[in-house]
Structure 1
Amino acid sequence: MIDKVYLLGERYRIIDTLGEGGMANVYLAEDIILQRKVAVKVLRLDLQKEPQIEERFQREALATSELSHPNIVSVLDVGTDQGLPYMVMEYVDGPDLKEYIGENSPLDLHEVIRIMDQILSAVALAHKHNVIHRDLKPQNILLDRRGNVKIADFGIAVALNQSSITQTNSVMGSVHYMSPEQTRGGLVTKQSDIYSLGIILYELITGKVPFNGETPVSIALKHAQEPIPSIRKKDPKVPQALENVVLRATAKDPRDRYATAQEMKADLDTSLDFSRKDEEVFVPNHRINDDETIILPGFKKADNDVTKQNTEQEKSSPKETAKEQHHDFWQGVRAHKWWFIFMGIAAVLIVLIMIFALGGNQDHQPAGVRVPDVTNLAEGKAKAKIEDAGFTIGNTVKRHSDSVAVGKVIETKPAAGEMLKKGQVIDLVISSGAGMIKVPDVENTDYEEAATKLEELGFDVIRENQYSNDIDEGKVISQSIAAGVEVKPKQTTITLVVSQGKAPKPKKNLIKLKDLKNYSLKSAQDYAKEYGLTLQIIQEYSDHVEKGMIISMRPDAGTRVKRGSTVTVVVSKGPKEDAKDTNVTKTFTVDYQAPADETQGDNHREAEEKENAKGNHVQIYIRDDDHSLGNIYRDLYIKRDMSFSIPFSLKDGSGQLRVVRDGETILNEKVTK
Structure 2
Amino acid sequence: MENMIGRKLDGRYAIQEVIGVGGMAIVYKAYDEIDDRVVAVKVLKDEYLSNEDFKRRFKNESKAIAMLSHPNIVKVYDVSLDERLQYIVMEYVDGITLKEYIDQQHVLTWKEAVHFTVQILRALQHAHEKGIVHRDIKPQNIMMLEDGTIKVADFGIARMANSETRTMTDKAIGSVHYISPEQASGSRTDEKSDIYSLGVMLYEMLTGKLPFDSENAVSVAIMQMQTDPRRPRELNPDIPEGLEEITLRAMQKEPARRYVSAAAMLADINAFKQNPSIHFAYKYFVDDSPTRYYDAVKKVKGEPEPEKQPEVAPKKEAAKKNKSYISLLSKIAIVFILIAAVIIGIMMYVFGIFPHSATPDVKVPNLVGQQYDTVVQQYGKELQIVKSNTQYDNTAPAGQILSQNPKANADVKKNAQVSVVVSLGPKQVTVPDVTNLAQADAVAQLTANGLQYTIQSINDDSVAKGSVVKTDPVAGTQVNSGSSVTLYISLGPVVVNETVPNVVGMTQDAAKTALENAGLKLGNVTQQSSSTVAAGTVISQDQKANTQIPQNTAVNLVVSSGTPSAPNVVGESISKATSDLQNNGYSLGNVTYANNSTVAQGDVISQQTESDNKHVDLVVSLGPATSSVSSTSSTASTSSTSSTTTSTTTTTTNTYHSSRGRK
TM-score normalised by structure 2 residue count: 0.45
TM-score, length-scaled by structure 1? 0.44
Structure number with larger C-alpha Rg: 2
